[in-house]
């Protein structure tokens, strides 16, 4: 593992101008890493501005500006391409 990759694990990163689309979630995704359940807060297909990414060894959590204090499994989302 490279040093910069090591630095990402178990860290929080501030991410400017990044949006994710909620694509859905299953119970196993929510339970993995004790995530909050996006089905309780988000609309499937909705775009949300990313505030932080929390990178772990086997998964990544994502936090959104509109939902302070909540963290979701990144596998429930896809990146929105804003470049066209």
State the residue range of the domain holding 42.
3-79
Q: How many domains does the chain have?
A: 1
Residues belonging to the chain:
84
* 84 within some domain: no
Q: What is the pTM of this model?
A: 0.79
Q: How far is CA 70 from the centre of its chain?
A: 10
* Confidence at residue 49, expressed as pLDDT on a 0 to 100 scale: 95
Q: Residue 14: which H helix or E strand, with range?
A: strand 11-14
Q: Which alpha helices (H) appear in 1-84, and where do they start and end? A: 3-8, 27-31
* Distance, CA of 14 to CA of 33 (rounded, Å): 20
Q: Distance of alpha carbon 83 from its chain centroid, rounded?
A: 20
What confidence tens digit (pLDDT) does each residue in 24-47 have? 999 999 998 889 999 999 999 999
- The answer to whether position 62 is within a domain reads yes
């Amino acid at each position: 593992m490279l040093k910069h990759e090591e630095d990402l694990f178990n860290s929080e990163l501030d991410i400017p101008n990044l949006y994710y689309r909620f694509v859905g979630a299953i119970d196993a995704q929510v339970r993995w890493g004790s995530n909050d359940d996006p089905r309780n807060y988000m609309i499937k297909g909705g775009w949300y501005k990313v505030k932080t990414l929390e990178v772990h060894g086997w998964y990544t959590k994502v936090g959104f500006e509109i939902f302070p204090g909540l963290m979701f499994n990144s596998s429930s989302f896809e990146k929105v391409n804003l470049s066209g």
